[in-house]
Structure 1
Amino acid sequence: MRIAILGSVVTQVPPLGQAAIEWMAYHQAMGLAKRGHKVLLFAPEGSKVEHENIELVTVGKGGTLTGTGKEGDVGQTKRLGSSFKLRLEMTHLGILIGELLDRDSHFDILLNNLRGEAMIVPVAEILRKPLVGVMHLPLFDELAALLKRYKTNLISISDAQRKAYPDLNYAATIYNGVDPEAFAYNETPDDYYLYLGSIGPNKNPRDALLACKRAGVKMILGGRIKDKIYYDKEIASHIDGEIIKWVGEMHPGDVIELYRGAKAFLFPTMWEEPFGLVMIEAMSCGTPVVGYPHGAVAEVIEEGKNGFLVENVEEMAGKIREMEEMENAAMRQLRMSARKSVEEKFTIEKMVRNYEEVLRKILPI
């Protein structure tokens, strides 16, 4: 197959910092190329995807997704207002559409990861090429109506994601994947609990640190600050550098050791989570997840096998206390089971194979 993968117009592929969508686009491109398919990957300058079957098409300089893992890499766009960032992102999207039109004869099917999917849907109609859209983000009424009008082929990344709009043209549910070799298993954790992710009310890291304080355990907290007011009001006063330690947003290569060393990963999300990549990254390292059952969380966490579902701070604190009292053999079994769940359901290899199957089914022979 000749596949155009629309990776990103906001940050590099793969990203230098926190950006799950761009990581999935990277693994799609590399995985499908390794399986013998010709890939056109559309992504900003600075992207690094090297394979003989991949042609990288650069579309602007990115920079509208603040934060790349290193403060010096953020550049001018960190200081730009949201209105200009939106205009800049739309400009990069326009560049991408122009490149698509110019390269019409170079691909047979489009696999879209962009959050600007509304602009890609009618373009695919003009090109008369089948489009498969990956639903990395929640839908809303206007977007759902557009997708329904064009009968766009959709891939949900969890079954929970379909519930609000069950009548769209879903081709498959394909869970995100991780590389188990990169996120290597660790049987013996250190003495802390972990939260990594966006800092804001939707992801709700405050409940994680409150649960750790009530359980009397150490915690490491890190991620990109999406809401500075929330951070200042709900998080900053709890950080003491000893019981609650703040590490900020880290380079992807540095977070693996944090996952591996944690007794559990805490995921008190308050929104309808489309998937939650951090959960399976932690599980691959053997770290069980304690999370709130919103969105896809209940699909990823199997109670008592790779983690635990709880409803509030008190229940999370109680589960932490239970884990503190676990015998070593029981903790080892839990960690081994968490790792096994990733090997069975959430690998990049399985994810790419499923994408390949869907694309073959949709592409006219």
Structure 2
Amino acid sequence: MRIVQIAPNLYPIPHYAGTEILVYILTETLVNKGHEVYLYAPEGSKSSAQIINFKQQYQSSEELVDYVLKTMPNNIDIIHDHSLSINSLKKEIAVPTVSTIHYWDYTSSKFCVHVSKKAREIYGNNKGFYIYNGINVDDYEFSEEKEDYNLFIGRICAEKGLHDALTVCEKNNEKLIIAGPIYDESYYKNQIEPRIKNNKKVKYVGFVKGKEKQNLLKYAKCVLFPSIWELFGIVIIEAMACGTPVLAFPNGGIPEILEDFPNLLCNTVEEMTYKCKNQLFPSYKSLRKCVENKFSADKMTERYLFVYQLAIIDRNKLLHKSFLH
């Protein structure tokens, strides 16, 4: 199949942001399965696919789609848009198109894919498809040996709930390692930095990736994920692949990820504090097995290929119908 992938026109692929990670994993898996993939992405992107760089950053949706349609190779079977550009234009284009809604956006195109059932319910009016994000599980080292620290990993901004993770560890007098880029400087300076400076058991290590991120995930005794709203939460499955339990609030798509482990869901900070202190966790191997069974890159990619085929069949039916009339 000849496939065009349109990444968001923000950061080079791959990137630490969840959408960019997903686009990279899906693209690489499609290439490994023998498909011919063309990836539209910002300059500096890396992929096994054939990369076509955007002309400039932050184009309007209309400009971006126009650029793709003018520059993409002939005989493309499917366009997969991760940028919301085609979806936002609310018009049909000649090539069958699938749009994945990674953000909080209401959908208009027929073949929209959401990253959780909850996202489809809220933003798709229960129409379209849902496909869980997947990772290359073999890229994550499993460990049953844990060290004496909890981990928060993610963007540092109010909606990710780092202040609650700090509260949990302060009340339990436990170590907390914080990893991630500062997205809200005011939030960090006013609500986070003073608490770090006043607590020798809290350490901020900045943005991490690769082996450093891997080691933090696999040796943490628990990952704290007190996000106030999350369509999916790729950090959760990354941690579970390493055999590390994740305590999270039951919002957005998180209960779907932790469906097999309802005891990891916490309704309040107090409940998270109690479960963290008493280590009320499932077996490390069961966490890994869950990711292998439900959230692998192969499983995700096969589901996308199925939706691609449906979009192509639907377009062919429309062409056949118009020809007959």
* Shared fold per TM-score greater than 0.5: yes
Q: Which residue of 1 aligns with 2:296?
A: 347
Unaligned runs of 5+ residues in structure 1 are: 62-87
The percentage of aligned residue pairs carrying the same residue is 31
Q: CA deviation at 1:288?
A: 0.6
Q: Give the equivalent residue in structure 2 for 1:217.
A: 174
Partner of 2:242: 285
RMSD: 2.2
Superposition pairs for residues 187-202 of structure 1, below 5 Å?
187-202=144-159
Name the structure 2 match of 1:130.
96
Aligned residue number for residue 12 of structure 2? 12
Q: Does 1:256 align with 2:214?
A: yes
* Alpha-carbon separation, structure 2, partners of 1:39 and 1:107: 9
Q: Match for residue 82 of structure 2? A: 113
2:273 paired residue among 294, 302, 317? 317
Classify the secondary structure of the residue corresponding to 1:194: strand
**Quick one: distance in 1 between partners of 2:200 and 2:72?**
55
SS at match of 1:105: coil
State the shift of 1:120 in Å.
5.6
User: Runs of at least 4 residues of structure 1 off by over 4 A?
Assistant: 117-121
Which residue identity does 1:243 align to in structure 2? K
Amino acid aligned to 2:53 = T
Question: What's 2:204 paired with?
Answer: 246
Q: How many angstroms apart in 2 are the aligned matches of 1:7 and 1:228? A: 27
Count of residues in Structure 1 that have an aligned counterpart in Structure 2:
313
Instruction: For 1:269, give the aligned amino acid.
Output: S
- Residue of structure 2 equivalent to 1:298: 255
Deviation at 1:115, TM superposition (A): 4.3
Q: Deviations over 1:305-359 (max 9, x none)?
A: 7x61112221111111111xx7xxxx6x621111111011011111111111111
- Please point out which of 293, 297, 306 is paired with 1:357: 306
Q: Where does 1:85-164 land on structure 2 (aligned, <5 Å)?
A: 88-90=57-59, 94=63, 97-103=66-72, 105-119=74-88, 121-122=90-91, 125=92, 127-139=93-105, 143-144=106-107, 147=108, 151-164=109-122
Return 5+ residue gaps in structure 2 as ranges: 317-325
Cα distance in 1 for partners of 2:312, 2:68 equals 21
- More deviation, 240-249/355-364: 240-249
User: Any conservation in 2 of the 1:60–1:92 contact (CA below 8 Å)?
Assistant: no
CA distance in 1: counterparts of 2:133 and 2:251, whole angstroms: 17
Q: Deviations over 1:142-196 (max 9, x none)?
A: x44xx1xxx43111110010222453640x2111111111111011111100011
Is the 1:200–1:230 contact (alpha carbons within 8 Å) kept by the matching residues of 2? yes
1:35 maps to 2:4: no
TM-fit CA distance, 1:225: 1.3
Distance between the aligned counterparts of 1:112 and 1:194, measured in 2?
33
Instruction: Output the CA distance in 2 between the equivalents of 1:42 and 1:262.
Output: 36
Displacement of 1:96 after TM fit? Answer: 5.8
Query: For the Cα contact (< 8 Å) 1:9–1:60, is it kept in 2?
Result: no
Q: Secondary structure of the residue that 2:264 maps to in structure 1?
A: strand
Say whether residues 1:268 and 2:226 are aligned partners: yes
The DSSP-based 3-state class of the residue aligned with 1:220 is strand
Tell me, in whole angstroms, the C-alpha distance in 1 between the residues paired with 2:284 and 2:244: 6
- Asked if the contact 2:150/2:174 (under 8 Å) is kept, the reply is yes
CA distance in 2, matches of 1:340, 1:362: 32
Aligned to 1:45: 43
- Relative to structure 1, the CA distance from residue 57 to residue 304 in structure 2 (aligned partners, 3 Å threshold; closer, same or farther) is closer
Q: For residue 42 of structure 1, what is the amino acid of its counterpart?
A: Y
Q: Displacement of 1:3 after TM fit? A: 1.1
> 1:194–1:264: 8 Å Cα contact kept in structure 2?
yes
